[in-house]
Amino acid sequence: MSDLLALAYPWTKAFHIMAVIAWMAGLFYLPRLFVYHAEQVGQSGETHDLFQTMELKLLRVIMNPAMIATWILGLCLVFTPGIVDWSAIWPWTKTAGVLAMTWFHHWLGLRRKDFMRGENKLTGRQYRLMNEVPTLLMVLIVLSVVVRF
């Protein structure tokens, strides 16, 4: 199995990067949709229904599959011999960043359900602040992998 992982390494890495890009696009865009939904749309009406559809499709059709692919391909990279030195700090900081990114993904899913039920409690400003979370996590993850501190 390890020979297969080593042979597939460049392909696995390429598809992992593509999955991460798709996941990150959704993590950047969904909170922005929530900002507009909270500030300009309200909790009922045609525009509310349109935003519900956009948010649901973004989460289910793009973000969830991209997150799953990111995890599967990332684990394949982790198990490829000679790629990760667990005695270094960087795999642990990257792991922490990926776990936090996954938590944030699920948190966004819960906020979408709040909108769906008409129970959103957060303001556009709060969603704007939360929109910075994936950026900070991306910086941590990329620096961990590239600089390997």
- Which among 39, 65, 41 is positioned nearest to 52, based on CA atoms? 41
Predicted pLDDT of residue 42: 78
Q: What is the model's pLDDT at position 44?
A: 83
What is the pLDDT at residue 2? 74
- The predicted structure's pLDDT at residue 97: 98
Locate the domains of the chain by residue range.
2-146
**Cβ neighbours for 116, distance < 8 A, ≥ 6 positions apart:** 52, 56
* pTM for the structure as a whole: 0.93
Q: What are phi and psi of 87, to 5 degrees?
A: -80, -10
The tens-digit pLDDT sequence of the chain (149 residues) is: 778 999 999 999 999 999 999 999 999 999 999 999 999 987 888 999 999 999 999 999 999 999 999 999 999 999 999 999 999 999 999 999 999 999 999 999 999 999 999 999 999 999 999 999 999 999 999 999 999 97
Provide the token pair at 80: 């490829």
pLDDT at 149: 79
Q: What distance in Å separates the CA atoms of residue 136 and residue 69, rounded to the nearest whole number?
A: 22
DSSP state of 86: T
